[in-house]
Chains A and B, each alone.
Chain A
Amino acid sequence: MTQPQKYTLSILVENKFGVLARVAGMFSGRGFNIETLNVGPVHQEGLSRITATIVGDQQSLDQALKQCNKLINVVEVEYFGPGVAVSRELLLLRIQADSATRPELMQICDIFRAKVIDVTAENVIVEVTGNANKIAAFYDLVIPFGILKMARTGAVALERGRSPEKLVGAS
């Protein structure tokens, strides 16, 4: 039994009725803990990719992969350990910032290459992308300004190029 760890699963699925419910239901029904879940279509017609991070030991990861693979609408399952994949999250924050505090906030945004995408007299909306560490660091720094609202995607991930991929549309 290994220590609980965070794993990123990348699940290629057929884009069919109820497929997200099947995958999510399998996780909850089998007692796996999903931390984040993302889904969106990919370049191949009729397919979508689900990126999920789960927390568990090696054995629960092993089960999660196999149970996922058993679902008929799942075409391919991969998992990424640390360093194998690039992973990004997107964070949107509405932060309290008036004319007095805004300059300092903008400075922090600059350092993190965060974008201000909406401004009013009392607050701003900021968009920042990056890996989980960068997101966490930015978040810690802006807490003192006062966070009014927040939305966060959780990780999407792709494994680093290990073999030449076929070009989109190539047969």
Chain B
Amino acid sequence: MSTPTAQPSPEAVLPFPPPYEEGSPKKGAEVVVEALEREGVDTIFAYPGGASMELHQALVKSGKIRTILPRHEQGGGFMAHGYARATGKPGVCMATSGPGATNLITCIADAYMDSIPLVAITGQVYQTLIGKSAFQETDVLGMSMPVVKHSYMVLEAEDLPRVLREAFHIAQTGRPGPVVVDIPKDVQQKVFTPRFPLELNIPGYPEPPKASDDDLKTVLGLLEQAQRPVLYTGGGIISSEATDALRRLAEATGVPVASTLMGLGAMDPDHPLSLYWFGMHGTVAGNWAVCESDLLVCLGARFDDRITGKVEKFAPEAKIVHFDLDRSEHQKNKPAHYPIFGEVGDALRRMADLVEKTDFRAPDLTAWRAKLDQWKEEYPFTYKESPHILGQEAIEVLYEETGGEAIITTGVGQHQMWAAQYYRFKEPRTYLSSLGLGTMGFGYPAAVGAKVACPDREVIDIDGDGSFLMNVQELATAKVEGIHAKCLLLNNQHLGMVVQWEDRFYEGCRGQTILGDPDNIGSPDNIDGLYPDFVAMAQGFGVKARRVIRKEELREAIREMLDHDGPYLLDVIVPYSEHVLPMIPQGKSAKEILTE
């Protein structure tokens, strides 16, 4: 009664000497840097300290790797996120032992939740001091264990080349995720002749499987028969570079596509088959389409609670097909009738081929599509005009002024949802946001990292005043390193999303959700109460900044930000009274969506 697995038999794991390439004798820290260079790493975000300074000394000598100093380890971790999310390549961050390492934990957890390839290197105290409560000693391996794809503590310097090769391989293959490599100082200091492995042997990490032809034909058969089908697409489309295949399949079958926020950009929202994104604050059409579907084909998504609402009422009439290369996602949150274990991009490409080359009969979806079009028409994202600048409006203007071509990062809260609603993302890897973990402070450092990775793209952090303040120190990194990441700050002086919940579910009682002086709350009508002075703060960092309050100045101010050749902060004062709509209250179903 063993479960079928793709694991090799135990006999296959007997050790054998794998082929390797021998380097010249050097310190462990220099071996680490050479290993990074061999992985093609061009940038590392690293904050030094006692237990990692050997590594920094080695980095100084590297002609291939740019080392960027963040002003907080968490900032460095999220820069690596921005780099990884914008490119798909592993982001690399590094910190010293103890507090340096603990400051990285949030970034590691964030990468775990959103399946981002991240390699986090931490210095560790000398092995002779481990367990002695030495200065700046923490068990980072133990602390990070629940939030890593894998982790290593390197006990023998000779293992460094293999461990780093494995770390990068594991981080970026299969379902991507974070890998921690903890390196004691004595290992960094040991001089030895490194052997860089040319082959990997990780017995518990087989190649991801591919869906069988029969499975794919079954799904196509279901599609032929379906009357109300929907494709539900997630981050797996982005990480497996399957955007083109998805578009091909959707067009060839005529099946509409509803995305998660992680999957944003896989379809152009203006495409007739696009329902844009669904979930708690997604489109009415997307939510209702999924709810009423008779066939829901999930591709690389995980039935998160912000997507399903009340699980029993999620797509209650649908046959559910669930493509995932992580089998533990099958039957975890919502039972699927057809769980299909395999790489999503491969499955999509082969299905698109099958549809185009065989006698697939596209179902007649005229009535279904007409219904969806009516919902789309009836319930677009919308807001009521105000005498003041609204966050939604500022994002719309930004969208127009950038031609929708910028890479957008966000913090967490109302602005994060509005960014997804009003900056209509049409290409993958352009909406970079902490979606699973929901980490405030993500936006600006992520923008810095994305800008380093994509210097020719406009990169803008759409942020809130609460989130932005959490990693405001990274303005220094942007200035000193000459990284032209910009920030459109929607400043409402409150924690807007929590305020929204307070208004809706707690009779408006404010539980520490006012960010300034509660007796003199700043707003577009009370300029004197605005706190803190973000413009002065940015100027203190040497970063150009401007505050905009009046509606008629908005477009010109955004234009100035875009035209500025350098980092820039645009402090847009907005009222706190706006709510993100539509909204499916927690634990409710799509049919209970609030539109006002």
Give A contacts to B, CB under 8 Å: 12-14, 17-18, 21-22, 25-26, 29, 44-47, 59, 62-63, 65-67, 69-81, 84, 159, 166, 171
Contacts and interface: CB of A to CB of B under 8 A. Distances in A.
A137 to B, nearest CB: 27
A68 B153 CA distance: 21
Interface stretch (B2-10, B42-50, B552-560): B2-10
A79 B4 CA distance: 11
A27 to B, nearest CB: 11
Tell me whether chain A's interface is mostly helix, strand or loop, or mixed. Answer: mixed
A63 B332 CA distance: 7
6 contacts: A44-B13, A59-B331, A69-B327, A75-B204, A76-B5, A79-B3
A95 to B, nearest CB: 38
Contacts of A76: 5, 7, 10
A71 B331 contact: no
B60 interface: no
What are the 4 closest A-B residue pairs judged by CB atoms, nearest first?
A66-B328, A78-B2, A72-B150, A29-B146
B205 A62 contact: no
Interface in B178-209: 202-205
Contacts of B2: 78-79, 159
Contacts of A62: 331
B155 interface: yes
Given A14-B204, A59-B331, A79-B3, A72 B149 contact: yes
B145 A47 contact: no
Given A46-B13, A70-B326, A70-B328, 19 more contacts: A14-B203, A17-B153, A18-B141, A18-B145, A21-B142, A21-B145, A44-B13, A63-B331, A66-B328, A69-B7, A72-B205, A75-B8, A75-B10, A75-B203, A77-B3, A78-B1, A79-B1, A159-B1, A166-B11
A8 to B, nearest CB: 10
B170 interface: yes
A14 B328 CA distance: 21
A26 B146 CA distance: 7
Contacts of B202: 72
B170 A72 contact: yes
A158 to B, nearest CB: 12
A159 B151 CA distance: 32
Nearest to B335: A59
Nearest to A69: B5
Interface in B357-406: none
B3, B7, B15, B332 — most chain A CB neighbours (10 Å):
B3
Contacts of B85: none
B14 A45 contact: yes
A80 to B, nearest CB: 6
B150 A25 contact: no
A73 B155 contact: no
B351 to A, nearest CB: 24
Contacts of A75: 7-8, 10, 13, 203-204
B160 to A, nearest CB: 15
Interface residues of B, number: 31
B99 to A, nearest CB: 22
A44 B13 CA distance: 9
A166 B205 CA distance: 23
B167 to A, nearest CB: 10
A26 B7 CA distance: 19
A44 B10 contact: yes
Contacts of B170: 72
A78 B204 CA distance: 14
Given A21-B142, A75-B204, A66 B330 contact: yes
Contact of A71 (B1, B3, B204): B204
A115 to B, nearest CB: 33
Contact of A44 (B14, B146, B150): B14
A70 B202 CA distance: 13
A72 B204 contact: yes
Contacts of A25: 145-146
Contacts of A66: 327-328, 330
Nearest to B170: A72
Most chain A CB within a 10 A radius of its CB, from B1, B7, B202:
B1
Contacts of A47: 10, 13
Contacts of B326: 70
Nearest to B205: A72
Contacts of A45: 14-15
B81 to A, nearest CB: 22
Contacts of A70: 326-328
A10 to B, nearest CB: 8
Contacts of B205: 72
B145 A22 contact: yes
A79 B328 CA distance: 16
A13 B13 CA distance: 11
A12 to B, nearest CB: 6
Contact of A67 (B5, B142, B328): B328
Contacts of A84: 1
Contacts of B11: 44, 166, 171
A65 B13 contact: no
A71 B327 CA distance: 12
A47 B10 CA distance: 9
A143 to B, nearest CB: 35
B1 A80 contact: yes
B436 to A, nearest CB: 15
A47 B141 CA distance: 21
Contacts of A80: 1
Which has the most chain A C-beta neighbours within 10 Å: B7, B170, B203, B327?
B203
A141 to B, nearest CB: 33
Contacts of A12: 10
Interface string B10-24: 110111000000000
Given A63-B332, A69-B327, A72-B204, A78 B3 contact: yes
A47 B327 CA distance: 24
A49 to B, nearest CB: 10
B1 A81 contact: yes
A79 to B, nearest CB: 7
B390 to A, nearest CB: 41
Contacts of B14: 44-45
A71 B205 CA distance: 8
A66 B1 CA distance: 15
Contacts of A78: 1-3
A40 B205 CA distance: 22
A83 B524 CA distance: 73
Contacts of B151: 18
Contacts of A77: 3, 5
A21 B141 CA distance: 10
